Chains A and B, each alone.
Chain A
Amino acid sequence: MAGAGQEPLDEIGAARPPGAWKVDFDDWLFELRPAAELAVDLATRVVYRPASGPPGVLSWIGLDYVEELTFGDGRSIGTLLLQPFFLLADGLPMTPLLFDEPQDWEVQWRYVSLDVTRWEHRGLSWLTGHFELPFGLERQVDTNGTLRQYSNARNLGLKADWGTGLHSEHAGVDYHVSLTRGSGNDYRSADGSYAFCLRIGNSLTENLSYGASFMDAHLTGQDAPGDLQAFPTPDRTRFGIDCRWRRPSFAVLGEASFGSNGDEDVWSALFEVNRTSDDESVLTYAQIVGYGFGEAEGWQDYQSLRLGARHTLGASATIGVEWSRDIVAPAAAGEGDALAIQWRYRF
Chain B
Amino acid sequence: MEIPILGRFPHQALRPGVRAVTRIGLAFLCALAVTVPATALQQPDRTSPFCSYRSYKRLLPRFLPVDSIADVRVFPGRISAAQRGEISRDLALGIGRSELGRHMLYVPVDAKGKAHGLLRIHSEPGDHGLVFMAVFLDRDLRVSDYSVIQYRGRAKAWLQGRGDLGRRVRGADSKTLRSWLDATGGVLSPTGIAALGLAESSTAERRIVVHLVRIAAKAIATTERAWGTRMRALGYLAPRPPVEEAEETGCEQE
Which residues does A use to contact B, with CB under 8 Å? 1, 4-5, 7-9, 12, 17-20, 22-23, 26, 30, 34-35, 37, 39, 41-44, 46, 49, 51-54, 56-57, 59, 64-66, 68, 70, 73-76, 79, 81, 83, 88, 90-91, 93-95, 101-103, 110-111, 115, 117-118, 120-123, 125, 132, 142, 144-145, 168-171, 205, 207, 225-226, 232-233, 246-249, 251, 261, 276-280, 293, 300, 302, 312-319, 326, 329-330, 332-334, 336, 343-347
Minimum CB distance partner of B231 in chain A:
A74
What 0/1 readout, one digit per residue, does chain B (188-219) give for beta carbons within 8 Å of chain A? 00000000000000000000000000000000
What 0/1 readout, one digit per residue, does chain B (39-72) give for beta carbons within 8 Å of chain A? 1111111111111110101101100001001011
Known contacts: A1-B253, A91-B14. The answer to whether A278 contacts B72 by CB under 8 A is no
B119-136 at interface with A (beta carbon < 8 Å): 125-130
Minimum CB distance partner of B33 in chain A:
A317
**Quick check: which of B74-82, B162-170, B172-180 contacts chain A, the rest being far away?**
B74-82
State whether B18 touches A232 (Cβ < 8 A): no
Bin chain B's interface residue count.
35 or more
Q: Which of B6, B28, B51, B234 contacts A49 (CB 8 A)?
A: B6
A20 vs B82: C-alpha distance when bound (angstroms): 16
A122 vs B59: C-alpha distance when bound (angstroms): 10
State whether B57 touches A117 (Cβ < 8 A): yes
Known contacts: A18-B35, A121-B66, A347-B46. The answer to whether A91 contacts B12 by CB under 8 A is yes
> Secondary structure of the A side of the interface?
mixed
State whether B22 touches A57 (Cβ < 8 A): yes
Which residues from B are CB-within-8-Å of A4? 80, 82-83, 253
Which residues from A are CB-within-8-Å of B102? 30, 35, 37
Chosen A-B contacts, 29 in total, with CB atoms closer than 8 Å, are A4-B253, A7-B82, A8-B42, A19-B32, A34-B76, A42-B32, A66-B53, A75-B73, A76-B71, A88-B18, A88-B25, A90-B19, A111-B51, A120-B55, A121-B58, A125-B58, A142-B48, A142-B52, A144-B51, A205-B148, A207-B151, A225-B8, A233-B1, A312-B47, A314-B38, A315-B46, A346-B46, A346-B49, A347-B41
Q: Which of A102, A205, A319 contacts B149 (CB 8 A)?
A: A205
Q: Which of B14, B29, B127 contacts A43 (CB 8 A)?
A: B29
Which residues does B use to contact A, with CB under 8 Å? 1-9, 11-12, 14-15, 18-19, 21-22, 25-26, 28-30, 32-33, 35-53, 55, 57-58, 60-61, 66, 69, 71-78, 80-83, 85, 97, 101-102, 104, 107-108, 125-130, 148-154, 156, 234, 253-254
**A170 vs chain B, min Cβ distance (A):** 8
State whether A5 touches B6 (Cβ < 8 A): no
State whether A91 touches B11 (Cβ < 8 A): yes
A79 vs B41: C-alpha distance when bound (angstroms): 27
Q: Which of A12, A70, A248, A313 contacts B33 (CB 8 A)?
A: A313
